[in-house]
Amino acid sequence: MPSLPQKLFATALVLAAGGGVSVAPTPFTAPAMAQSSARNAGAEQFVQIQAQRALNILSQHHGDVATEKHLFRAFIDQVADVPRITYFVLGKYSRSIAPGQQHEFATVFREYASNVYESRLNEYHGETLKVIGSVARSPTDVIVQSQVSGGKLDQPVTVSWRVIAEGGGWRVVDVQVDGVWLAITQQQDFVSTIDNAGGNIQVLIDQLKRQVAKDEAGSR
């Protein structure tokens, strides 16, 4: 099987787990043309600006892991559409989950996803990102393509960002590296776990709680 560029995967996880790059949302720009295949300058600008801010945070060594994690988590909250992603990763079970359980899942998923990307923060080695184009599924749902290069990458890698327009700005909902969409993969992971538990969503929630507890114990 051809190898996946592991640094790219790690970089994308850092930038995208639970959401992606963040900063203040830039104004939403819908293309004038009705054709949904047109590029979207607003979405592209959003990704370029947010990517640069993310890389700035990663390149600042605060000497304190807790501070770095806090800064990056705040950053993610601003750019990622966390509620939409949380709803998405449950797949078919998002429609049947009880409200109380939904809240329980949202809380633990937030912690779980944060731990996943925070564990990768030290794998940033000066890579840079440049937006190279976009394809619109609709005026409010755009895939922005970028190239990540430099650092310890032997050659540039293409990373795609799926951004959704909402509330006057853009937010990231998924990231693709080497053809693999991270939120889609996460959804298939979670749905499989629930399927194998006979549809019992609590099994997934409990497993995520154990994972979070293990991560927290490991970080002390």
* Rounded-to-integer distance, Cα 80 and Cα 156, Å: 24
Q: Which stretch binds another protein (CB under 8 A): 41-49, 62-70, 71-79, 205-213?
A: 205-213
151 — alpha (psi -120 to 50), left (phi > 0) or beta?
left
Considering only residues 135 to 154 of the shown chain, the ones binding another protein according to CB under 8 A are: 135, 137, 141, 143, 145
Provide the minimum distance between the beta carbon of 194 and another protein in the complex, in angstroms, as a whole number: 9
Residues 21-50 that bind another protein (CB under 8 A): 36-37
Q: Contact between 3 and another protein (CB under 8 A)? A: yes
Q: Which stretch binds another protein (CB under 8 A): 20-28, 42-50, 62-70, 90-98?
A: 90-98
Would you tell me how many other CB atoms lie within 10 Å of the CB of residue 61? Answer: 8
**Residue 133: strand pairing partners:** 145
Angle at 113 between CA 205 and CA 87, to 5 degrees: 60
Say whether 219 sits in a helix, a strand or coil: helix
Establish if 211 lies at the interface with another protein (CB under 8 A).
Answer: yes
Q: Are 190 and 204 in contact (CB under 8 A)?
A: yes
Q: Which of 147, 193, 200, 202 is in the footprint of another protein by CB under 8 A?
A: 193
Sheet holding 127-138, edge to edge: 127-138, 141-150, 157-166, 169-177, 180-181
Nearer to another protein, 70 or 152 (CB): 152
Q: Which two tokens stand for residue 82?
A: 């966390």
Return the H-helix or E-strand segment holding 208.
helix 201-219
Residue 185 interacting with another protein (CB under 8 A) = yes
**Contact residues for another protein (CB under 8 A)?**
1-4, 6, 9-10, 13, 36-37, 81-88, 91-92, 94, 99, 102-103, 106, 112, 115-116, 123, 133, 135, 137, 141, 143, 145, 155, 158, 160, 162, 164, 166, 173-174, 176, 178-181, 183-185, 187-193, 195-196, 204, 207-208, 211
